[in-house]
């Protein structure tokens, strides 16, 4: 078993994986945050972060065909530029933390970002390049804990962006972010053969979740589902804090 996880823990993580992939297939974000926040309730989430990044990239393969015409490439490159500036620092910091500190960090980031997303905060204009670089830096700081998509999702949700464009841009940005982060984690010793095994075991579950979520995307209210996903993140963050502090 990868990471010396027991059968019960693996079964729970598999169920969480399908649910998180469903959310990703529907909304374009939330997979990493949901999976990492939920996994932290059962085990140390740090070794699982590279697996999550590999899963994000695999899911993009499933979704690439349907998103090509909706990607905001200018925004993607600005966000990635900002993230690249801070990722070496943030990865170094997260690798220096113990299990309890990692769990606490994940829960606090998810809690704060979920509250921002649920607040209904809105902007009347699109954020330009300097702002997107700054958002990318915030995302890079969070991505060492596996939840770098949340700052971007929070700020993009606040802007007047069409759901299809939001979803496509988030998918491509998260893929690029993970491609930058993975070599840094490999250099820090966090990417192992267990990472490859975990990603291989996850592959069919990812396909199922993304396929179901993609079908749902065309048939339901993006706003309603996004509210559900964010509410789930909030609950997971609170449970994570309670587990860490008690």
Q: What is the pLDDT of residues 52-101, one digit of tens each?
A: 999 888 888 777 777 888 999 999 999 999 999 999 999 999 999 998 99
DSSP-assigned states of every residue in 22-56: HHHHHHS--HHHHHHHHHTTTS-SGGGHHHHHHHH
Are residues 177 and 80 in contact, defined by beta-carbon separation less than 8 angstroms? yes
Better-predicted residue by pLDDT, 30 or 169: 169
User: Percentage of the chain with pLDDT > 70?
Assistant: 95
Our measurement of the distance from residue 8's CA atom to the centroid of its chain's CA atoms, rounded to an integer in Å, reads 24
Indicate if the pLDDT at residue 220 is higher than 60. no
Indicate if the pLDDT at residue 34 is higher than 90. no
> Residue range 222-242: average pLDDT?
77
| C-alpha span between 99 and 46 (Å, rounded) | 7
Q: How confident is the model at residue 15 (pLDDT cuts 50, 70, 90)?
A: very high
Helix axes of 129-143 and 149-157: crossing angle, nearest 10 degrees: 140
> Residue range 193-201: average pLDDT?
92
User: Percentage of the chain with pLDDT > 90?
Assistant: 46
Residue-level pLDDT at 73: 96
Residue-level pLDDT at 223: 67
Q: How confident is the model at residue 1 (pLDDT cuts 50, 70, 90)?
A: low
Q: How confident is the model at residue 214 (pLDDT cuts 50, 70, 90)?
A: confident
């Amino acid at each position: 078993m990868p990471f010396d996880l027991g059968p019960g823990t693996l079964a729970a993580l598999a169920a969480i994986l399908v649910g998180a992939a469903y959310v990703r297939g529907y909304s374009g974000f939330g997979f990493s945050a949901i999976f990492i926040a939920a996994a932290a309730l059962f085990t140390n989430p740090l070794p699982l972060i590279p697996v999550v990044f590999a899963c994000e990239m695999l899911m993009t393969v499933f979704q690439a065909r349907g998103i090509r015409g909706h990607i905001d490439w200018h925004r993607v490159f600005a966000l990635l530029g900002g993230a690249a500036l801070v990722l070496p620092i943030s990865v170094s910091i997260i690798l220096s933390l113990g299990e309890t500190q990692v769990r606490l960090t994940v829960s606090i980031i998810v809690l704060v970002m979920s509250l921002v997303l649920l607040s209904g905060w809105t902007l009347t204009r699109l954020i330009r390049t300097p702002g997107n670089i700054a958002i990318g830096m915030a995302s890079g700081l969070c991505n060492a804990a596996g939840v770098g998509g949340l700052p971007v999702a929070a700020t993009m949700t606040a802007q007047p962006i069409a759901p299809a464009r939001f979803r496509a841009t988030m998918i491509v940005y998260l893929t690029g972010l993970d491609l930058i982060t993975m070599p840094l984690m490999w250099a820090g010793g966090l990417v192992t053969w267990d990472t490859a095994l975990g990603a291989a075991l996850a592959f069919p579950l990812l396909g199922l979740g993304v396929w179901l979520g993609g079908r749902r995307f065309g048939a339901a209210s993006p706003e309603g589902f996004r509210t559900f996903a964010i509410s789930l993140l909030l609950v997971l963050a609170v449970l994570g804090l309670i587990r860490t502090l008690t």
